[in-house]
Amino acid sequence: MRILRINTRTKEYKFEELGEYAGLGGRAMTSRLINKEVPADCHPLSAENKLVIAGGVLAGSTAANSGRVSVGSKSPLTGGIKESNSGGLFAHKLPKLNLLAIVFEDKPETDAPFQNIFISTDKVEFKDATAIAGMDNYPAHDKLLAEYGDKAVICMTGPVGEKCGKTATIQFTDPYKRPARSAGRGGMGAVLGSKKVKAVILDPAASESYKPVDAEAFKAARKTWAEILMGHPVTSQGLPGFGTSILVNVINEAGALPTKNFRYGQCDHAADISGEKIAEVIESRGGKTKEGCHVGCLIQCSQQYNDKKGEYLTSGFEYETVWALGANCLIKDIDDIATLDRICDEKGMDTIEIGNTIAIAMEGGIIPWGDGKAAIALAQKCGSEDPMGLIIGNGVDFAGGAFGVDRLPTCKGQSLPAYDPRAVKGVGVTYATTPMGGDHTAGYGVCQNVLKVGGDVDGHKKEGNVETSKNLQIATASIDALGMCLFVAFAVLDSENGAQVMADLVAAQTGTKFTVDDFLALGVNCLKDELDFNKRAGFTKSDDQLPRFFSTEALPPHNVTWDFTEDELQAAKVD
């Protein structure tokens, strides 16, 4: 396996041996490289920043749910290091080009045209992207498939990324030939946009072999692994049945569903936007309630959501999206929410950040609370020259600045997702302390606080939640390093041998000795890289705290507040 480095200014490129990066993958790879090679104090849109796309340690293997891809960079949104994680076909395709990672370096002049970069096993070609620049992602992706063949595997920055908006995603080709999978958080698309890269196309003809070194051992481990995933109710029933939106009712019931810009913990119209309701709508319109985001997924938590005419509208329609637009913006019409999800994929915007940002526009009186049509009109402006689109496309803190709003639910510049930290303190500690900024996927304390998976820790009290978050942050970083879907954690946390089987998969695939300790060390060292970068970028414990209003305003119905001190929170970080 190799690393491909591409200089986006000079158009030089180099296929390199892994060297010091050998043994790493996914987030462990992207965070190590960014920490080592990017000046911590550079501007995220400057030539000195780099963007890395890497498959996990198990990318290219046939282990179930091992096809997630990591995108790493210094984040325009947080100013810190970032790993943004996506499904799609990219991670499993990279090894077919004998690649672990692609690094985009330097940047052309601001007025240089956008480029498409076609990558084959031994060659990189730069092509003018003027024909698709500014175009929405779905039609642009169609054009690229028409040009490069419908087995081409693509990632691309959308119109918002071209404008360097801080909400910009990188969208990846999914198994159904749609650019519907997002490396959503942290503005990774803006970094790619600043480097004038519109799309990256992996040669469909590339077919390097990447077989397990120990085929027998791999086969055995792979089977056990599938059994673990299929043996847990969350990964075998809850997620496949209703998608992640099964959480709407669960979190609402727990009084932790942030409503009207984090004012309440329950939403009156939760039933209208629940996973159960969404599944009903999907079935009534001939959509699909189960899809995988990548080949080899057993969980199938994605879906195909059709419009009233029965035509495809969106997929990858997540709980966090439904929450952000539905409960937090008070939008009741699920079709409006689905339309906004599609617009976010078209423009290349993080749905969590945009949902929160629309709530800020409502808070600031720009559009009325709950007005789905007005929200759609706002989102449609993004990625164009329209200055309102530039404001919305830059996220919560930015829109708060534009509209004079002071209740901004962000940590390290990134808006908080779908679990109120006052009522789910385990994930609140993660929001506060992860190097990623407000992010539930970095240590999902919802497991222990609400779902009672992997333990039972009271989400309303401080006790036990710092430790819970710390352990989850490590496990998560390890899973991200392997390129595994994070949802495997539900099964692994309740399984006796889950971590061992993951280690066995790595050992058999790579032919190295790889233990559970090695697995956890991947996560710990990854976090150390991230914390080191952020420290050098100027982050301190003051940045490890949630906005003051979470401490001063009690959250109904349980009237809980956020009550951790900065010093208490430090114990959630690896030493």
Residue 437: half-sphere exposure toward Cβ, Cα within 13 Å:
25
- Asked if omega into 159 is within 30° of 0 (cis), the reply is no
Q: CB-wise, 42 or 295, nearer to a second copy?
A: 42
| One residue of 19, 109, 110, 496 binding a second copy per CB under 8 A | 110
Comparing CB distances to a second copy, the nearer of 93 and 163 is 163
Q: In this structure, which amino acid lies at residue 168?
A: A
Place of tokens 């709508």: 281
Sheet holding 302-306, edge to edge: 288-291, 302-306, 312-315
Phi and psi angles of residue 410, each rounded to the nearest 5 degrees, phi first: -130, 155
Q: How many CA atoms lie within 13 A of 509 on its CB side?
A: 23
Question: Beta 288-291 vs 302-306: how paired, if at all?
Answer: antiparallel
* In contact, 305 and 287? CB cutoff 8 Å: yes
The CA distance from 556 to 226, in Å, is 41
Residues 518-557 that bind a second copy (CB under 8 A): 537-538, 540, 542-543, 545, 547-549
Among 4, 24, 34, 45, binds a second copy (CB under 8 A): 45
- Smallest distance, a second copy to C-beta of residue 479, A: 31
**HSE of 526, CA atoms in CB hemisphere, 13 A:** 33
Does residue 46 belong to the site contacting a second copy (CB under 8 A)?
A: yes
* 209 belongs to the binding site for a second copy (CB under 8 A): no
The β-bridge relationship of strands 69-74 and 312-315 is: unpaired
Segment interacting with a second copy, rule: CB under 8 A, options 40-48, 64-72, 226-234, 345-353? 40-48
Q: Are 433 and 441 in contact (CB under 8 A)?
A: no
Q: Does 133 bind a second copy (CB under 8 A)?
A: no
Segment near a second copy (CB under 8 A), from 45-53, 83-91, 204-212, 273-281? 45-53
Minimum CB separation from a second copy for residue 198, in Å?
15
DSSP run (H or E) holding 156: strand 153-157
Per-residue DSSP letter, 338: H
Closest Cα partner for 291 from 324, 314, 322, 320? 314
By the rule CB under 8 A, 41 interacts with a second copy? yes
| Minimum gap (Å) between residue 156 Cβ and a second copy | 17
d(CA 8, CA 516): 39
**For a second copy, which is the closer residue by CB, 330 or 537?**
537
Among 39, 149, 231, 368, binds a second copy (CB under 8 A): 39
Both structure tokens of 278: 């969404």
Question: By CB under 8 A, what part of segment 350-409 binds a second copy?
Answer: 363-365, 386-388, 390-391, 394, 398, 401-408
Q: In whole angstroms, what is the distance from residue 232 CA to residue 448 CA?
A: 16
How many residues make contact with a second copy (CB under 8 A)? Answer: 45
State yes or no: residue 193 binds a second copy (CB under 8 A). yes
Do the Cβ atoms of 473 and 520 come closer than 8 Å?
A: no
| φ, ψ for residue 225, nearest 5 deg | -60, -45
Cβ-based nearer residue to a second copy, 42 or 281? 42
Nearer to a second copy, 102 or 391 (CB): 391
Nearer to a second copy, 203 or 363 (CB): 363
Of residues 312 and 403, the one with the C-beta less far from a second copy: 403
Q: 9 or 407, CB closer to a second copy?
A: 407
Site for a second copy in 273-292 (CB under 8 A): none
DSSP 8-state secondary structure symbol assigned to residue 495:
-
CB of 400 to a second copy, least distance (A): 9
Taking the complex as a whole, how short is the minimal distance between the CB of residue 46 and a second copy, in angstroms? 4
Task: Say if residues 143 and 150 touch (Cβ distance below 8 Å).
Answer: no
The answer to whether 141 and 152 have CB atoms below 8 angstroms apart is no
N residues, the chain: 575
Closest CA relative to residue 51, chosen from 172, 196, 202: 196
The least distance separating a second copy from the CB of residue 465, rounded to whole angstroms, comes to 21
Of 9, 37, 42, 260, the one binding a second copy (CB under 8 A) is: 42
- Per-residue x/- mask for a second copy, residues 413 to 442, rule CB under 8 A? ------------------------------
Among 1, 2, 4, 44, binds a second copy (CB under 8 A): 44
As a whole number of angstroms, the distance between CA 257 and CA 264 comes to 7
Of 136, 511, 102, the C-alpha closest to 346 is: 136
Give the nearest distance from C-beta 402 to a second copy in angstroms: 4
Task: Choose, by CB under 8 A, the member of 24, 154, 190, 481 that binds a second copy.
Answer: 190
User: Using CB under 8 A as the criterion, what x/- string covers residues 72-101 for binding a second copy?
Assistant: ----x-------------------------
Contact positions vs a second copy (CB under 8 A): 39, 41-46, 48, 76, 110-111, 163-166, 190, 193-194, 363-365, 386-388, 390-391, 394, 398, 401-408, 537-538, 540, 542-543, 545, 547-549
